[in-house]
Amino acid sequence: MIANHFTDMKIIRTVSEMQHHADELRKDKTIGFVPTMGYLHEGHLALVKAAKILADVVVVSIFVNPIQFGPSEDLSRYPRDFERDAKLLDEEKTDIIFYPDDGEMYEKAFSTYVEVKKLEDHLCGKTRAGHFTGVATVVTKLFNIVKPHYAVFGQKDYQQLTVIERMVRDLNQDVKIIPHPTIREADGLAMSSRNTYLSSEERRKALFISASLRKAEEMFSSGIRDAGEIRKAVNTILHTEDGIDVEYIDICDAMTLEDISTLEKKAVLAIACRVGKTRLIDNTILTEALQ
Ligand code: AMP
């Protein structure tokens, strides 16, 4: 049983109650939605602030979605602290936390999945088989449950954002997707719930990731359009010291996520690597706006 010490913020644990509230709210209010897996940080809270500006009522979901984790991934050790999350969301004047358990979201006989083809063949999809199907499926379910007018997603998870945007268009889902820029620590590290896994030495090494993105932005701003040259410089920075195991450094078309060799249209430089056992991702968008 979750105690609710908050006077203005509701904590809803069942699909039927959330759907009922959403129906009532939609009679005369707009709903802004921020889906999360909890263990909140300033990145998540920035999305909540953006949703508050857009909509009359803000719903935040906290659900560590089991079907987006592979068998060897960190589902069981993913950090969780509902009490702390609820306090932070109350301070942001969140209206509703939707906090279902696994059984509420997935019946035993559950068998319907949303697969966004092609986009999941790139970047993280190459090593995380089924991950984006798990994400697209849970986000579709959450949209059906929370019935939002707006849903805010972070650019930190660039491929996830692209997959969701494609899915919403393809399935005519009646929600507007709002991208939000990546929120970083003062020293440049992209905020992530997984940063908590890092030792202080790993935390220091992880800074090479954002430093390499800044270098790529500088090269792009100085007029370099050869993807190979930018990739090489990024790779060199990531290998300044031992301890970063690079999974990919990809420069791709911002819409299709296909690799490109020359930066002509809007492009994304995306990095995934392991620092110790922790898998970190980060990216930057390379467009003429950077010039
Ligand atoms: P998660 O709890 O990691 O599933 O993330 C929930 C939402 O927060 C997703 O839309 C993420 O892209 C977004 N998010 C996570 N970290 C950041 C960050 N550092 N800056 C902006 N958005 C973020």
Mean pLDDT of 78-101: 98
pTM of the entire predicted model: 0.97
Q: Rounded to the nearest 5°, which phi and psi values hold at 67?
A: -80, 0
- Please tell me the distance from the alpha carbon of residue 245 to that of residue 235, in angstroms, as a whole number: 11
Q: Is 43 helix (H, G, I), strand (E, B) or coil?
A: helix
Write out the residue limits of the CATH 3.40.50.620 domain(s) in the chain.
Answer: 10-180
Residue 27 — very low, low, confident or very high, per pLDDT cuts 50/70/90? very high
Could you tell me if 113 and 140 are in contact, meaning their C-beta atoms sit under 8 angstroms apart? no
Backbone angles phi, psi at 116, to 5 degrees: -100, 100
pLDDT over threshold 70, residue 291: no
Is the predicted pLDDT of residue 12 greater than 70, yes or no? yes
How many whole angstroms separate alpha carbon 269 and alpha carbon 54? Answer: 29
Superfamily of domain 10-180: HUPs (3.40.50.620)
Q: Of the residues 123, 157, 189, which should be mutated to test ligand 1's pocket, given the most ligand atoms within 8 Å of the CB?
A: 157
Interatomic CA distance for residues 108 and 86, integer angstroms: 29
Q: Is 190 in the pocket of ligand 1 (CB under 6 A)?
A: yes
CA neighbours within 13 Å on the CB side: how many for 152? Answer: 24
Which range is least confidently modeled, 17-21, 70-74, 90-94, 196-200?
70-74
Q: Label residues 221-249 b or e (16+ Cβ within 10 Å = b).
A: eeeeeebeebbebbeebbeeeebbeebeb
Which of 33, 36, 159 to probe ligand 1 with, by most ligand atoms within 8 A of CB? 36
Among protein residues, the one with the nearest Cα to ligand 1's atom 8 is: 44
Task: Read off the pLDDT band of 219 (50, 70, 90).
Answer: very high
Task: With cut-offs at 50, 70 and 90, classify the pLDDT of residue 99.
Answer: very high
- The residues pairing with 58 across neighbouring beta strands, listed in sequence order, are 32
Atom 17 of ligand 1, nearest CA residue: 43
Residue nearest ligand 1's atom 10 by CA: 153
Q: What are residue 34's phi and psi, to 5 degrees? A: -130, 105
The residue whose CB lies within 8 Å of the most ligand 1 atoms, and thus the one to mutate among 47, 123, 210, is 47
Q: Does the pLDDT of residue 217 top 80, yes or no?
A: yes
Output the CA 226–ligand 1 centroid distance in Å: 30
Residue (of 217, 182, 189) closest to 278 by Cα position: 189
Q: What is the mean pLDDT of residues 64-86?
A: 96
Per-chain mean pLDDT for the chain: 96
Give the pLDDT confidence score for residue 53 in this predicted structure. Answer: 98
Q: Is the CB of 183 under 6 A from ligand 1?
A: yes
103-127 pLDDT per residue, tens: 999 999 999 999 999 999 999 999 9
148 lines ligand 1 (CB under 6 A): no
Which residue has the least CA distance to atom 19 on ligand 1? 191
pLDDT of residue 55 exceeding 70, the answer is: yes
| Distance (Å) from CA 79 to ligand 1 centroid | 14
186 and 207 in contact (C-beta within 8 Å)?
no
Amino acid at 24: E
Instruction: State how far the alpha carbon of 10 is from the alpha carbons of 183, 233, 256, in Å.
Output: 27, 49, 39
| Cβ 164 vs Cβ 148: under 8 Å | no
Q: Where in the chain is the domain with CATH 3.30.1300.10?
A: 193-282
The Cα 248–Cα 27 span in angstroms is 47
Listed range (73-77, 117-121, 244-248, 287-291) with the worst mean pLDDT: 287-291
Q: Does any ligand 1 atom lie closer than 6 A to the CB of residue 131?
A: no
Supply the pLDDT for residue 164.
98
Atom of ligand 1 nearest to the CA of 190: 19
CATH architecture classification, 193-282? 2-Layer Sandwich (3.30)
* Rounded distance between C-alpha atoms, residue 126 and residue 113, angstroms: 19
**β-pair type (31-36, 278-286):** unpaired
Sheet holding 278-286, edge to edge: 244-253, 267-275, 278-286
- Average pLDDT, integer, range 16-24: 98
Query: Per residue in 232-255, pLDDT tens?
Result: 999 999 999 999 999 999 999 999
Does ligand 1 lie within 6 Å of residue 60's CB atom? no
* Cα gap 101→105, rounded to integer Å: 7
SS3 261: coil
**CB burial class (10 A; 0-12, 13-18, 19+) of residue 17?**
middle
Which residue's CA is minimally distant from atom 13 of ligand 1? 154
**Annotated active-site residue in 21, 44, 149, 180:** 44
44 noted as active-site residue: yes
Q: What is the pLDDT of residue 289?
A: 73
